[in-house]
Amino acid sequence: MRWTDHKTVGLLYGVTALGFLLVGFLLMILMRWQLAWPGQPLPSWLAAGLGEANAPGGIMLPEFYNQLVAMHGTVMVFLAVVPLAAGAFANYFIPLQIGAPEMAFPRLNALSYWLYLIAGVIMVASFFVEGGAANSGWTSYAPLAVIATTGQNYWLIGIFLLGVSSALNALNVLVTIIQGRGPGVTWINLPFFVWSQLVTALLLLLAFPALQAAAIFQLMDRLAGTSFFLPSGLVIGGVPLQGISGGGSPLLWQHLFWFLGHPEVYVLILPAMGIVAEVITAHARRPLWGYGLMVAAVLFMGGMSMVVWAHHMFLTGMGTSLGTFFQLTTFIISIPSVILVSALVLTLWGGSITFGTPMLFALAFLPMFGIGGLTGLPLGLAASDVSLHDTYYIVAHFHYLVAPGTLFALFAGIYHFWPQITGRALNETLGKIHFWGSFVCMNLIFLPMFAIGLMGVNRRLWDAGASYAHAQPTLQWQTHMTYAAFALALFQLPFVVNVFTHARARRDPGSGIRDPQELSSGSRFPVPGSRTRPDTGTSAAKLGMWLFLASETMFFASLFSGYVMLRAGSVTWQDRFNGFPWLETLLLVGASAAFGPSRFRLIAANALGLTFIAIKIGTDALMLRNGVLPSDNLMLASWYTLTWVHAAHVLGGAIFTGWLAGPSFRMFEAERERWLARIDATRKYWLFVDVVWLAIVIGFFFI
Amino acid sequence: MIERWLPAAASSDAPLLDAVLMSVHVHMLLIFVGWLAVFVYALARFRKGANPEPRQPGVRGVWPALAIGAVIAGDVVILFALALPAWSGRNAPPPAGVNPVEVRVTAEQFAWNIHYPGPDGVFGRTDQTLVSASNPVGIDRSDPAARDDIGLLNILTLPVYRTVFVQLTSRDVIHSFTLNEMRIKQDANPGMTTRIWFTPTQTGNWEIACSQLCGLGHYRMRGEYHVVTPEEWEKWQADEVARLLP
C-alpha cells in the first residue's frame, strides 16, 4: 500500500469521516436526551461517562449542552460530511472516472488527509481541556466566542488546519480534472459526478480562506488582546472588559464566516447531487436528462453561492437596499436547484427502474432535498425570516438538506460503489432495513421541527423551551423526537454489521462485478506533470500554482477586507506610525529579483528572505518591548496581524527555496524539465509575496 | 394551515408579514406536490416490472421548461409583489407625529434592561457604575431628566395602538430581541444601537425571548411584555414614577 495512492487517501478519508460521523451522531444522542428530559438526571452510566464537571448529579449543565451544540455542528459539517463527500468520493473515484492514473499531486493529497485528521483530533480532544470544547455554536459568533473558554482556541486552530487541508484537496481535484483527463475524456462527456466535484473544489478553494482569515483575527483577539471583533465599552457580567482597545466589529466576523458558510452549503450538496446522478442513471438504465443544463446549473450555482452569504444576517440591522440585494440573489440561486432536482426526476422517465438499496437512498434524497431546499425560500425572504430565524424551523430546514439529504446520497454512494472497492456487494436485506428505518426516523425527528419553529420556539435552548409558556405544547413532541432518534441509532446497526462483514476485498466469481483494478489500469498513462498539455495549454505545476495563488489571494483579500472595514468604520483610527520599512521592502524585492534557475541565485534569494524575517522579528521585538502592542489600537492590531501572516509566507518561500537549492538540486541534471517547472512556479509565489507586502505597506503608509 | 401554529398576530405589521409567510408556503406546497406527483408516477410507470427495457428518447417537449418557468414566475410574484414591499414597508419610518412611545432596551447575559424616559419623554443620563439590583439600567438620578425615568428588568409594558420605538443594544455579546406576537426579532449588537418600531394592535401578556445563542444562560433569558389599554398604561407609568419618589 502506498500512502499517497489516491485510493488509499480516499479510503482513509472515508473511514475517518465515518468515524467522525459516529462522533457527531453520539453528540446528537446526548443532545436529544437532554431535550426530551431537560433538568432530569441522565442514566447513571451516561452521567458517569460525562463526569461530575459536565453533569453534576447526573444533570447535564447548560455549559456542556452548549459544547454539544457547537461540536455536533462542527463535527458533522467539517469533519464528517464534507470529508466524506469532497474527500473520500473525490479522491477515490475522480481518477477512475476520468482515466487518470493518480491525483495530480499525490503527496499533497496525502498531506491533506493527515492535516484533516490532526485538525479533527484537536477539535474533538478539546472536550477534555479546561472548560471543555468550543461552546459558541458552529458559527462561533463574536464577541461570545472571543470571551469563551479555552476550547475555542482548539476550534479555531482546527478550522485553520482544515482550511489548509481542504485547499490542498481542492487544488488536487481541480488540477487532476483539468490536466489528468485520459484520452477521449473531454469537457462535454465528463461525468456529471466529476463536474459536481469540480465546482465543489472551486468553492472550497476560494471560500474557505475567508474563514481562515476570520479564525486568525479571532485567535488574535483571544490570545494577543486585539479587538477585531470587540466594540468599545463591553461589560461582561457587570465588569468592564479591561486592557483592550475596543472599536472592533462583531459583524465583521459574521461577514467573513458566512462568506465561507454559505458556499459550504453547496459543498455539502453538490457532491451529493453527483453521486445521486450516478446511482439513478445506473439503476434506471438511462442517461441523464439534460446533462448540459445540469452542468450549467451547477456552475451557475457555484458562482452565485459566493454572493448570497448575508441572507444569514437579515436581522443584524441590515439596511433595506442591501437586504433586497441578498433576497434577490437568494431567489436566483434557488432556480438551479429546481432545475437539478427536476432533471434527476426526468431522468427516470422511460427508464427501467430497479429498487436496490443504493437506488432507494438516492431516490429518497430527492424529496428530502426538495423539502430542505423549498423551506429555504421563506428563510431567504427577510419578511418571513423574522418569524423563523433562529427557531426550530431553520434546524429542520438545514437538517433536511444535510441529514436525509446529503447523508442519504452518501449512503447511496457507499452501497453503490462498494462493489467497485471491495469486489463484492453489501447485503441487500440489511441495506433495506437500514434505509427504511433511517427514512422513517429521520422524518419523525425533523418534520415536527417545522411546526415547533412556526410556533416561535427558538433553537439552541438547553431546556428545549421549557422556561417559555409558548413552548409548552411542544415539549411532549421533543420527547417523541428523541425516541425516534434512539430508533434511528438502532437502524444504523445493520449498516455497521453490513460494512464490517463485507469489508474484506474479494471477487465473487460470476457476480458480474468488474475487477476494480481493471477499471483504472486499462487507461493508465503518465500524468503530464511539468509538460504542457496541448488541449489545455498549461501544465499541472503551472496550473497548480495559479490555483494556489488564487486561494492565497482570497485569503489576503479577506484579511484586507477586515482591515478596510474596521478602518472605514472607525472614528478614532490612529494614524500610521513613523518609519517606512524601506529596508524590508528592498530585501523582499531583492529576494524575488535574485530568485532564478541557478544555485547561486537560489541561495541569494533564500538568504535575503531569511534576512527579511530576521529584521521583521527584530523590529517587532523592539516595538513590543517598548510597549507598542497589538492590543493598543486597531491600526496596530491590523499591522501586526497582516505582517505576521505575510512573514509566515516569506518564511515558507525561503524554506522552499532552500530546498530547491539543496536536496532538490540534483534534479537540475536528472530531471531538468520538472525542476525548471518548480523554479517557475516558485518565482510566481515570490512575486505574489512581494505584491502582498506592497499592498500592506501602501495601505498603511500612503493611504 | 400554518396560521394555527403561528403566534398571535398582534402588531400592525403582523398581517402583512404573515401573508408573505403563508403565500411562500402555498408556493412551496404547489411545487412540491406537483414535483412529487411526477416523481411517484415515474417510479410506478417505469419500474422494471412495467417497463422491462429502457426507452430511448426520454422526456421530450416543452413541459419541463414550462414547469420550471411556472416556478420562476411564482418566485418573481412572491418576491416583487409581496416580500420586498413588505420588508421595505416594515423598515420605512412611520409617519411623523404619531406620538410614539420610546424605550431603550439593553441586553446583557442573561437579562433585558428596559429604560423608559418617563412622563417628560426625555431619557436621563445613565452610568454603568450605578448599576445595581434596584437600578438595573444604571439611571443617574442626579440628572434632572432622569428623575422620572423608569428602569426595569425583563418587564416591558406598552400601550396598545401607539407606535413603540425601541433603541436596542447590548452590553456584552450579541442577543436577539424577540417579541413573537409583534413579529419583532432583532439582533442586539454590542457597540451599536439599532432602532426598531412596531405598533401593537391587541392587548395581551406575552414573552420576550432571546433568539441568539448568548452563553450558558441563553435558555433562561426570558422576559415578559404586557400590551395594555392606553388608560392602564398611563396608570402604570404614574404608579412607577410614584414609587420613585420617597
Query: Considering only A207-221, A373-387, B131-145, B149-163, which range has the smallest mean pLDDT?
Result: B131-145
**B107 forms bridges with which residues in the sheet?**
B112, B170
Pull the grid cell for residue A196: 459536481
In sequence order, which residues have a C-beta less than 8 Å from that of residue A394 and are 6 or more positions away?
A379, A388, A453, A459
Main-chain dihedrals φ then ψ at residue A538, nearest 5 degrees: -145, 170
Other CB atoms within 10 A of residue A55 CB = 21
Pull the grid cell for residue A402: 444535510
Q: Name the residue type at position B107.
A: A
Q: For chain B, positions 161-200, list CB contacts with chain A under 8 A.
A: 171-174, 176, 178, 180, 183-187, 189-192, 194
Tell me the C-alpha distance between A485 and A464, whole Å.
16
Region B215-242 average pLDDT: 96
Contact A367 B36 (CB under 8 A): yes
Tell me the C-alpha distance between A208 and B209, whole Å.
33
**B184 forms bridges with which residues in the sheet?**
B179
H/E stretch holding A195 reads helix A192-223
Main-chain dihedrals φ then ψ at residue A24, nearest 5 degrees: -60, -35
Closest CB to A62 among B16, B27, B217: B217
The pLDDT of residue A235 is 92
Query: Considering only A451-455, A556-560, B59-63, which range has the smallest mean pLDDT?
Result: B59-63
Pull the grid cell for residue A399: 437538517
Tell me the C-alpha distance between A570 and A388, whole Å.
33
SS3 content of chain B, % helix, strand, coil (to 5): 35, 25, 35
Region A648-655 average pLDDT: 96
Tell the burial category of A683 from Cβ atoms under 10 Å away from its Cβ (0-12, 13-18, 19+).
middle
Tell the burial category of B21 from Cβ atoms under 10 Å away from its Cβ (0-12, 13-18, 19+).
buried
β B184-188/B175-179 pair status = antiparallel
Nearest CA in chain A to B2: A454
In this predicted structure, the answer to whether residue A519 has a pLDDT above a threshold of 70 is no
Pull the grid cell for residue A554: 482570497
Q: What is the pLDDT of residues A304-313, one digit of tens each?
A: 999 999 999 9
Establish whether the linkage from the previous residue to A20 is cis, with ω within 30° of 0: no
Region B168-177 average pLDDT: 96
Region A636-648 average pLDDT: 96
Other CB atoms within 10 A of residue A429 CB = 10
Main-chain dihedrals φ then ψ at residue A590, nearest 5 degrees: -60, -40
In this predicted structure, the answer to whether residue A524 has a pLDDT above a threshold of 50 is no
CA distance B153 to chain A (A): 15
Region A318-331 average pLDDT: 91
Decide if B104 contacts B123 (C-beta within 8 A): yes
Long-range contacts of A319-322 (CB under 8 A, 24+ apart): A319/B91, A320/B87, A320/B88, A320/B91
The pLDDT of residue A587 is 96
In sequence order, which residues have a C-beta less than 8 Å from that of residue A613 and are 6 or more positions away?
A647, A650, A651, A654
Establish whether the linkage from the previous residue to A263 is cis, with ω within 30° of 0: no
Decide if A88 contacts A21 (C-beta within 8 A): no
Contacts of B209 in chain A (CB under 8 A): 456, 458, 468
Contact B128 A235 (CB under 8 A): yes
What is the DSSP track for B69-88?
HHHHHHHHHIIIIIIHHHHH
DSSP structure class, residue A515:
P
Q: What is the pLDDT of residues A463-483, one digit of tens each?
A: 999 999 999 999 999 999 999
Q: What is the pLDDT of residues A2-41, one digit of tens each?
A: 788 999 999 999 999 999 999 999 999 999 999 999 989 9
**Of B166, B171, B164, residue with least CA distance to B127:** B171
Contacts of A463 in chain B (CB under 8 A): 219-220
> Which spans in chain B are helix H?
14-45, 63-77, 84-91, 230-244
Tell me the C-alpha distance between A308 and A573, whole Å.
30
The pLDDT of residue B168 is 97
Q: E strands, A501-624, where?
A: none
Tell me the C-alpha distance between B191 and B171, whole Å.
8
In this predicted structure, the answer to whether residue A692 has a pLDDT above a threshold of 60 is yes
**A474 forms bridges with which residues in the sheet?**
none
Query: Considering only A40-44, A375-379, A578-582, B16-20, which range has the smallest mean pLDDT?
Result: A578-582
Tell me the C-alpha distance between B100 and B120, whole Å.
13
Q: Is B41 on the interface with A (CB under 8 A)?
A: no
Tell me the C-alpha distance between B188 and B211, whole Å.
10
Tell the burial category of A82 from Cβ atoms under 10 Å away from its Cβ (0-12, 13-18, 19+).
buried
Q: Name the residue type at position B71.
A: V
In this predicted structure, the answer to whether residue A613 has a pLDDT above a threshold of 60 is yes
The pLDDT of residue A528 is 55
Q: Which residue carries 414609587 as its cell?
A: B243
The pLDDT of residue B99 is 82
Nearest CA in chain A to B47: A353
Q: Which residue carries 498539455 as its cell?
A: A533
Helix axes A582-594, A599-625, angle to 10 degrees: 160
Confidence of residue A663 (pLDDT cuts 50, 70, 90): confident
The pLDDT of residue A571 is 77
Contact A387 B56 (CB under 8 A): no
pTM: 0.95
Decide if A685 contacts A653 (C-beta within 8 A): yes
Decide if B77 contacts B23 (C-beta within 8 A): no
Contact A352 B53 (CB under 8 A): yes
Pull the grid cell for residue A115: 492535516
Confidence of residue A535 (pLDDT cuts 50, 70, 90): confident
Decide if A181 contacts A100 (C-beta within 8 A): yes
Instruction: Select from A138, A458, A461 the residue whose CB has the most chain B CBs within 10 Å, as the one to mutate to test that interface.
Output: A458
Query: Considering only A146-150, B91-95, B140-144, which range has the smallest mean pLDDT?
Result: B91-95
Provide the mean pLDDT of chain A.
Answer: 92
Q: Which residues of B50-69 are buried (b: 16+ CB within 10 A; e: fewer)?
A: ebeebeeebbeeeebeebbe
Residues in chain B, how many?
A: 246
